[in-house]
Structure 1
Amino acid sequence: MQVHQHARPHMETHTRSAGHSAVAGVAYRLGLKLYDERQKVWHDFRKRALGEEVVRALTLAPPDAPFWSTDPAQLWNRVEASEKRKDSQLARDYRIPIPFGLDDSDAGDLAEEMARFIVETLHTPVSLGLHRDADRDALGVLKPKDKQGFHAHIYFPTRPLADVAGEDEGKDGSQGFGAKLTFLSNKNTSAAFVEMLNCKWSELATDYARRVGSDLTYQYRSYKRLGLKLTPQPTLGRSATAMERRGLYTNRGDSLREAKKSASDGAKPFATIAFSKRRKAYLGTPSFVPRQGSLAYRLRASAPSPKNKEESDELDRSLVLIEALDKAFAVYHEIQQELDKLFKIIEAARAASLDAAFQADQSREHRKLAYVRLRRWEDENRWRVKIFASMGGAPLAKHEALRSNVKLHSDHVQSLKQTIATHAREVVDAENEVHALKVKQDEAFSAIRTSMANLDEAKSSLLPNLMRELSLSDTALLKEQLPVLFQGGDGIEKVSEGIAEQDQVGLGHRPFQRPS
């Protein structure tokens, strides 16, 4: 039996005390837009388009289950309503890795088979989201095509369905669910169940891998239980991973880089060394080590080897500046993406406000006509109105209908005025965010400008190669903001002078203009 290193399944509990929302959780995993009735907010994850990030999304339920148990919106709002405590356990997310080599269809079938096993075992509905893995690893390095696979989120409540469990669905506050699956609430009592799920996953993973010609066996037991002397690599977490993929160093990323380097050298990882000591060790070495896959890393690989200490120090200084430049570009473009989103929000809010204003004008015209009809009818039936009023009788049906019509249009106008005010607040809030982001973006561009000037001042031999290695977006930014770099011939030699001249005349960075 061949045993290889691979990811294992993982069970996570979502609790209200940790700020989780079951509706938000399933919206993310299935790529949906769902309304959270408890929090009165929308959770919109439709940008995770089905077929792209989300490969398969469905909700399964036991046979003869209520109709709402396969509707994600109704199911998970009922889950939220059935849990009363502020620290309630809402749902469990069983995340499983999918073997490499499977296509979209096979990966979806494996995940669905695992989800149905949980449905049958716990008698509870399950929402399944099969996601395509990111094309870069936790450190931002592009993965080979054969290492880009899938993972699945199997999301299920902490209670079984009442009718399936043989309990009364009409029980006060039950929302159609039975008693808590208490054996899953404790680590000691849940261990056997999680082990059973992991065992089932290993059987399915091995079986599906064999179907595509692989002879690998997927194990659910830890390396220690298997008797393998392997040291698990440090994990980064969501925030550190996002920063590393943007080109920003993190303490955890440094630990993982060292662990990988030590493992490749056959040495024991020293990921427990303090970050400050690790950073000091880097600075004390004669050669700067850029982040793998970064711009500095690529330029270092193509640069000629230094012949003496002076050339080595010059190369190190250039690489440090290029690393800072690379990070500044990443921050700049990330902020620009956020700005683009805000501009779309502002544009949409203003369009919606104009539409509401148009509807309000129409309703005012309708209200005016309705009022004219009411006054005309009252003038023609003045004595009938007075007689019925003096007798204490009910208002005349025609009179009441005309008055209701006026009120209907008046209420509609007031509602639209509130809508217009809401959109106006959205525009103001978004514009405030835009201005705050522009300040940060200006700081990022200032770092770009400073790095370029320092490279020129240091007479870096890497500068010409740097200009060729820049991405299209980075090159476009420099062409727009620092055209002196592209003036041909002696443009590179006059970087510092050109930047200084632009700063003096206020052309270092284009001023921000509010969207019209």
Structure 2
Amino acid sequence: MAIFIASTKSISRGKGQSAVASASYRAGVALEDTRYGKTHDYSKRHGVMSADIILPSALTAANAAIDRSELWNKAESAEKRKDARVAREWLVNLPYELSAEDRKELAHSFAQTLADRYGTIADCAIHEPTQKEIDRGADPRNYHAHIMFTTRTAELDENNEITLTDKATIELSDKKRRSLSMERVSHEIKDVRQLWEQIANEKLAEHDHKLIDSRSYAAQGIDIEPQLKMGSVATKLERDKYERELRKAEQAKAEGKHYEIDKTPATQLGTINEIINERNELVWGTELAKNQLINDTADHIISKGHDIEHITPPQMVSDYVPKPSM
């Protein structure tokens, strides 16, 4: 069953970030960063299925074009403040039930819709979990898209070249938005999340897959507990332990031996999150069983030609194991 993930964050100098470096990492390419006088090279990065620049429809109709390096260097040069936001990223989960082609079409449709809505340029990178990540415990169904957007609107200048001008409305402060009779940014973000739900569900419905829900788990009545934030130090400790274990396994293999990788967490935070994850999987499994029971009952009613409006829903039983639909 597809899950809903649509989150956004700013890429800013105040956090020590660069739009060029971020684009390089997400696209898995080498890009020259003229502002910082260095080259970011992530061309050996695995897991990048595709990476495409998506212009607002008006610029595409005018046969405009720009490459990744020029785009993000322009995004950097357009900002003068040392703490400026230089890009906005949307991270969306791509339903594993769909084909690779459909997932790409879905991500591009969302990116195009936002590019047209705000007049910004998108850089859409689609990722799949690598075998190394899967070996470390990542879900092999974790297909997702990192979609970076310019924070400024894109227009054509007198030389018919793309230039970045005013800040997009989603980047304006709440004070500025109020002066323009606009709702708070939080409302805007909620609207975009619902937009992703709509676009994704249209694609899922085409193939008769279960739909996603943009509401929080709490709003849906699902008792999912959020994991604790690991932070950079704990994350590094977890990663370093895995790398050591992997080297031990490779060394043992070279010697014709077998070494079982120790996947227990290296930190207390990691242990707590593992417990939370196990609990959430049990809760989620129960919810899926409930949904399957309702779907099976509905299928049975429809197949028998009963009046579904006058059928009493079945009683939910915690240890019920649903039977497959006939």
Q: What TM-score does the superposition give when structure 2 sets the normalisation length?
A: 0.67
Code of the aligned partner of 2:215: R
Q: Aligned letter for 1:24?
A: A
Deviation at 1:71, TM superposition (A): 1.0
Distance in 2 between residues matched to 1:7 and 1:200, nearest whole Å: 12
* Percentage of identical aligned residues: 25
Q: Distance in 2 between matches of 1:72 and 1:94?
A: 17
> Deviation at 1:93?
0.7
The answer on whether the counterparts of 1:101 and 1:149 sit within 8 Å (CA) in structure 2 is no
Aligned pair 1:230/2:227, yes or no?
A: no
**CA deviations over 1:305-364 (Å, ceiling 9, x no partner):** xxxxxxxxxxxxxxxxxxxxxxxxxxxxxxxxxxxxxxxxxxxxxxxxxxxxxxxxxxxx
Question: Aligned partners of 1:150, 1:260: CA distance in 2, in Å?
Answer: 19
The count of aligned residue pairs is 248
Which digits, 9 at most, give the CA deviation of each residue in 1:367-392, with x for residues without a partner?
xxxxxxxxxxxxxxxxxxxxxxxxxx
Question: SS where residue 167 of structure 2 aligns?
Answer: coil
Q: Does 1:87 align with 2:74?
A: no
Structure 1 range deviating more: 131-140 or 5-14: 131-140
TM-superposition CA deviations, 1:103-150 (whole Å, max 9, x none):
22111111111110111101111111001124477992364xxx4241
Rounded Cα–Cα distance in structure 1 between residues aligned with 2:85 and 2:227: 30
Q: Decide whether aligned partners of structure 1 residues 265 and 54 sit closer, same or farther in structure 2, where only a CA change above 3 A counts.
A: closer
Distance 1:263 1:85 in 2: 43
* Aligned twin of 1:64: 59
Cα distance in 2 between the residues matched to 1:254 and 1:24: 32
Give the match for residue 320 of structure 1: none
**1:104 correspondence with 2:100:** yes
How far 1:60 sits from its partner (Å)? 1.2
2:18 maps to what in 1?
A: 21
- 202-211 or 154-163, which deviates more: 202-211
Is 1:34–1:43's contact at 8 Å kept on the other side of the alignment? yes
- Whole-Å separation in 2 of the counterparts to 1:45 and 1:251: 32
Q: Say whether the 8 Å CA contact 1:126–1:155 is kept in structure 2.
A: yes
The yes-or-no answer on 1:180 pairing with 2:167 is: yes
Measured at CA, do residues 58 and 237 of structure 1 come closer, stay the same or move farther in structure 2, by a change above 3 Å?
Answer: farther
* Superposition pairs of residues 347-358 of structure 1, within 5 angstroms: none
Check conservation: 1:138, 1:244, Cα contact below 8 A: no
Q: 1:3-402 counterparts in 2 under 5 A?
A: 6-48=3-45, 53-62=47-56, 63-64=58-59, 70-135=66-131, 140-141=136-137, 143=139, 147-163=140-156, 176-181=163-168, 183-186=170-173, 189-214=184-209, 216-236=210-230, 239=235, 242-243=239-240, 245-246=242-243, 247=263, 249-263=266-280
- How far is 1:6 from its partner? 2.8
Give the number of the structure whose alpha-carbon radius of gyration is greater: 1
Q: State how far apart, in whole Å, the 2-side matches of 1:137 and 1:162 are.
A: 40
CA–CA distance in 2 between the matches of 1:45 and 1:158? Answer: 23
State the 1:153 CA deviation.
Answer: 0.8
Provide the C-alpha distance between the structure 2 equivalents of 1:265 and 1:157, rounded to a whole number of angstroms: 40
- Asked if structure 2 preserves the Cα contact closer than 8 Å seen for 1:159 and 1:179, the reply is yes
- Mapped to 2, the partners of 1:138 and 1:235 lie a distance apart of 21
For residues 244-292 of structure 1, the C-alpha deviation after alignment (integer angstroms, 9 at most, x for no partner) is: 64455123211112223445677xxxxxxxxxxxxxxxxxxxxxxxxxx
Q: Give yes or no for contact 2:93–2:145 (8 Å, CA) kept in 1.
A: yes
CA contact (8 A) 1:59 1:128 kept: yes
* Residue of structure 2 equivalent to 1:306: none
> Residue type of the partner of 1:217?
L
One-letter identity of the residue aligned with 1:77: N
1:233: how far off? 3.4
How far apart are the structure 2 equivalents of 1:77 and 1:67? 21
Indicate conservation of the 8 Å contact 2:227/2:276, yes or no. yes
Distance 1:262 1:232 in 2: 11
Shift of 1:193: 1.9
Residues 416-438 of structure 1, C-alpha deviations (whole Å, 9 max, x = no match): xxxxxxxxxxxxxxxxxxxxxxx
TM-aligned CA deviation for residue 10 of structure 1: 1.0
Q: Secondary structure at the match of 1:109?
A: helix
Distance, in Å, in 1 between the alignment partners of 2:241 and 2:131 is 14
In the alignment, residue 45 of structure 1 is paired with which amino acid?
Y
Structure-2 separation of matches of 1:115 and 1:56:
14
Work out the CA distance in 1 between the residues paired with 2:145 and 2:225.
Answer: 26
In 2, distance between residues paired with 1:75 and 1:203? 29
The gaps in structure 2 that reach 5 residues or longer are 175-182, 244-262, 284-326
SS at the partner of 2:22? helix
The 2-side partners of 1:251 and 1:7 are apart by: 28
Change (3 A) 1:67 1:207: closer
Q: Contact (CA 8 Å) 1:136, 1:245: kept in 2 or not?
A: no
C-alpha distance after superposition, 1:179-204 (max 9, x if no partner): 22354354782222212221121122
- What amino acid maps onto 1:223 in structure 2? Y
* Higher RCO (CA-CA < 8 Å; seq separation 6+): 2
8 Å Cα contact 2:20/2:32 also seen in 1 = yes
Match for residue 346 of structure 1?
none
Match of 2:287 in 1: none
Q: Name stretches of at least 5 consecutive residues in structure 1 with no aligned partner.
A: 267-516
Distance apart, 1:209 and its partner CA: 2.8
Alpha-carbon distance in structure 1 between the residues aligned to 2:279 and 2:73? 48
For the aligned residues, what is the CA RMSD?
Answer: 3.0
